A and B are shown apart, each in its own frame.
Chain A
Amino acid sequence: MSEKVDRRTWLKIAAGTVAGLAVGGVAGYLSAPSKEVERTVTKEITKTITSIRTPEKEKVTVTLNWWPGPESDAVTPIVKWWNENMEPENNIHVELVLFGRAEHFDKVANLLISKSPEPDIVFMSYTVGRVYEHLEPLDKWFGSPKYPYALEHYVPAALDSFRVKGTLYGIPTDMNTSILMYRTDIIPDPPKTLEEMVEVARKWTKKYNPDSPTEYGFAIQGKNIWFNSYFWIDLYVNQGGPPLTPGNEIEFAKSLDSDIAKRTLEIYVKILDEGLSPPDCVDYEYAETNQALASGKVAMALQWQCALGELRNPKNAPLIYDKIGGCLPPGRKLPDGTIYRKSEVHVHGPGINKYSKHKEAAFKVFAFLTTFRFARDYIMNGAFTGSQAILFNEHIRKIRTDIPDLAPVYMNSWPMTTHPDLIAIHDIITRNINSALTKLKSVDKALSDAKKELLELLTKE
């Protein structure tokens, strides 16, 4: 700070440091992360909160955009806390700005490309590659001694999901991955390989087993909506295909007519053809799959991880809330006998608008969003996390009963691509998978078309 700091401000900084230490102590009490994470978390709380508390010269309103739904429900009390506790000290008022959930990311993209200065902080997704040129690169901010940060506590693949060409543009407050959800009462030991999954699905399909409590053994999310490709991609990568990670898009596209890809899609189609999945599954996405599980109609499904918490709520799924589990998607047996199983991870979280007129103040708010305190409150208010410190916190694991199932999935994840044409890439894959499922194309044609379209897209000027 170039200006002379008066006594009052020094007292505030000292009080803030003591308070920060106290918060750090409380955080230490609540958490039981690894020693390294604990050291990092405690360090960032004291220094970062001290910096955050340094007042702005004039009152500033930072507009914080978030995703409506469980995520905004979780952040609303935190914003209220900030305005009641931090605003009097640092003169930064946070105003929460929400758009409609369905087209939120398109709306944010439109605002960014129109160079709107607001919102100051935008809630982004793994489609960050489309708009990264309109976002503030964060490495220089986090690298400043003014805002020492603890990004090490994030799941590495999650943080990488917000890097474009190696530069960080957001922080993962919400991680998403796909898991295999299954009925624990009838499937005590979930399938580990794809072949096992098909056999278990057959066992719990009424057509093959009249005594099955479920009508179908599996539900494919087959709707022609671009993100439904993630489930098939997970299966494909686990069977030996190259992962669709940042920078690996062309290799992935070239592999689509391989024997591994054909085999994986043939199995996917076979699940539907043999009646192991409901016929309407070609129109299923998140909600329909949840309904199919909650109603007891299906025994297993590949689903987004947030469904686990929802379906373990007795109000949402009274029939199955105490008998639903989640694990890594099925993989393949390696020559050494081990099972290769991973899942992709993609993220949501805030980034700073490059055109913001209050970047300094926005970054103070942003730095707060990286703290353990925020992560703890955010998940306890019903959202999720990108932090390992949260995933392995014993107190939180007792309350959020989905975390013990999900933590190993996240720790075995690979980052989904952040290519600018990410949505088009997935749209091509989903459309062709859907065409194979509905017999519009053969498996071979679907994959060769997908490969051709992807290579055209990825190699265009």
Chain B
Amino acid sequence: MKERHLGILLVLPATVILFSVTLFPTIFAYYMSVHRMTLQHFWSAPFVGLENYFRVLSLSDFWYSLKFSLLYTVVVTSIEITLGFFLAVYFDRPLKGRKVLISIIMLPMAIAPALFGILMKLMFNDVAGLIPYILKNLFKMEVGFFSNFNSAFLTLAFIDIVQWTPFVFIILYAAVQALPRAPIDAAIVDGASKWQLIRHIIIPLLKPTILIVTVFRVMDALKTFDTINVITGGGPGNLTMTLSILVYKLAYTRGDFGLSAAATIIYFLIVIVIANLGLRLLKKGGILA
């Protein structure tokens, strides 16, 4: 009994801190979402029930941002999983300088997303950026990387892929390293080609890990804020505005915390639905009980 009490006492401070930075803001967000809470009426906000939720759902910006966030997530996640997988398989062999190469691949992931966004913004800057300079001087091409939706979307996706493929790679690489050798060796002995090996042996064996890392990346990509906010601010127009950026703008541009809190909760519910789908897939794949 005494030991149990001691255990609880020891864990209590960390638990209190954790709850205060997670539970309290969550509860307060719900509170804000049912009040018309602005900077001017923060302490005297009137109760408005579900009005903020209906207002969010009636915003065309909300639906656009949802569509953009989903499109962005699907595109970057699928490319990152594919690239990360093939990199993991490629590095699963004796390679000269493998460790150094892996360290280089991991570098973008080590940089804070906002800082990485600033670095990439400079790289693509039409006046001082390296990439436009190379394109102009070697290929005689002038590209406006952020001047329209297509170029802005592709550039942002590229930046996300550069930063987060290493995350997928390192998880899948660890999984590849842990694969049992027997089925692979047997397939090689049976004359399987590299592609057959990947398709029929490695992918099925890696399926649980691929699913898990896909769920992680989908959650992360849906939440993308720092990089895109730093680079385009959601522009041109509102064309690259993710749901996170919309939530931020509702709070700090419109000064409407109630509306922003309602948008956050709707966003949270959407992410829960997607997370649940992911969990079902994992259960179906026998990865989770």
Contacts and interface: CB of A to CB of B under 8 A. Distances in A.
Interface string A6-37: 00000000000000000000000000000000
A120 to B, nearest CB: 21
Interface string B121-154: 0000111100000000000001011111000100
Interface residues on B, range: 20 to 34
A435 B237 contact: yes
Contacts, number: 91
B236 A434 contact: yes
B42 A282 contact: no
Nearest to A461: B36
Contacts of A192: none
A437 interface: yes
Contact of B128 (A225, A295, A441): A295
Contacts of A226: 253
A163 B192 CA distance: 79
B249 A291 contact: no
A113 B42 contact: yes
Nearest to A436: B237
B39 interface: yes
B158 to A, nearest CB: 15
Interface in A282-332: 282-283, 288, 291-292, 295, 297
A279 B40 CA distance: 40
Contact of A288 (B125, B233, B236, B237): B125
Given A280-B144, A280-B147, A421-B254, A131 B39 contact: yes
Q: Which of A113, A222, A280, A291 has the most CB of B within 10 A?
A: A280
B258 to A, nearest CB: 13
Interface in A118-135: 130-131, 133
Contacts of A440: 236-237, 239
A229 to B, nearest CB: 12
B105 to A, nearest CB: 29
Interface string B204-236: 000000000000000000000000000111111
A280 B145 contact: yes
Given A113-B43, A438-B236, 16 more contacts: A109-B39, A113-B39, A224-B238, A278-B126, A279-B126, A280-B145, A280-B147, A282-B147, A283-B231, A291-B125, A420-B39, A424-B255, A434-B237, A435-B236, A435-B238, A437-B236
